Structure 1
């Protein structure tokens, strides 16, 4: 039987360790007090959580560790056992390994077996794509409950042996912009278990003919000593494009939903940084909606971010409230969003 709607049953999130503030980063990297001020003014991030110990360089958590913890919290909140899950979909740009997939490792740790498990390789819109895939598969009626996971381990791109005083600002920014984390939701077809109903999910490639705004490299035995930069971003292109694309996503979602701007009670905006979030929120122009942001506390956690926002939204929303979530991926310019309504 085809369900009438797909519902969010629960959400869970996980971060590694205690928050790391800007003063701690400045001390570790041997930078001046002015550098700490630069982070505040130009980035707008106060703290982030890292899977690496900055003093020893020891990695304390894998993405599978964080994803498993977030998923267990979502399952516990839903009152669901691993055997209740019919489908697992994960979005990440930084899996622990190419194979086995991190999604499969998490499923195995949870005791989930005999069900489809998908891992989507994508940047900031990967969580939205994972939600879209799970949503569409649930609407077929072939599955009853899905576990959707998103997360990043950005610290793997940190080189703690760098001479930070010699780095240019566009290189330094990666060390202060990002954080590590994971999130998960349980989706279901039973309205009696719903916290919120998904009204729409969307994810579209819009980068035809455009240069990539972000690149993450994979290195194997043949090219591990390549002089290519492991991570590179075109921040000027990102700053110029993300606000406009966010407004375009807003317009697309509202048109497809038949909602007016004043119908939206909560906005979950893109979370590149605190400074960029302010610009994006102004561009989206949903003045009556309450902004739900987490980037100042968590840093940019990529595919974990929407789950941190969603977890907060579910706590705040009252029956009848509507929320829009928006994301832009600069790697090849993907725009995405979803809309939910509190039941």
Structure 2
């Protein structure tokens, strides 16, 4: 009897041991498969974006960054507790500081901040429509891409001038960011700048050249091409700052023309935004500059701003973003209501 009991116990233990071994093997195999899948995903991503690394060491480093970012994106979307989604885009192998240094670029002058005491010329709230999309009015050019040059300030300046020029003349013309990068000496080219300096340059230069005449190169360090800059297409008489920390004033401005704004575009949710209404997470210290080209309300009643970015059509909703409007914080979500400004034609 005792022998039979010992045999039974031995068989049970052996079965448990074997089962445990199978389970551990399956876990290891699944982990290995997941790792192989991630490697395959990285290879597919590299092919899609034409990414080539200088050596195996850099590739390994980039893979680890890619894996970290992909896992964040998958975890975020799986949670499903936000009204927006993220996706794997061309920024997936960049570290945070590297991304901020090359893809953003808002920088105000040292010791000087835009005034918050400006009186807004657009002050008739009764004429503000319930929604606006300046694309539908023909005042927005196609999405552009600043590339690895931190000159978002030039792109939003140009977008705002393109908009007011179309509203004034009826002609939508793509204008030159490269002229601003090369010629606005009070800014720092690919190392950042401030829109008001760029608006002031356009006013003093009596206009801005076209994109076709002074094409974008995505780099700085070259002297201003005076001959190309003399071929002026769009003129403005000045610019105005929207009162700071006032989304109602900002609404009145955007109801009348595209407006340049500053925003915190450095966080992972913003970087990998894909669709829906962005509600955070983000800080309020501006790192990036974009253009507000409209606003609206979705079916769930969430108010939003319509943003034109300068990161190409692969980012966001074909290069655009919807971001929550009328939040409790006076500076607006991600600080978007801190320092808006627009050109005057």
Q: Please report the TM-score for the alignment, with normalisation by the length of structure 1.
A: 0.29
Q: Which has the higher contact order (CA 8 A, sep 6+)?
A: 1
**Max radius of gyration: which structure?**
2
More strand as a share of residues: 1
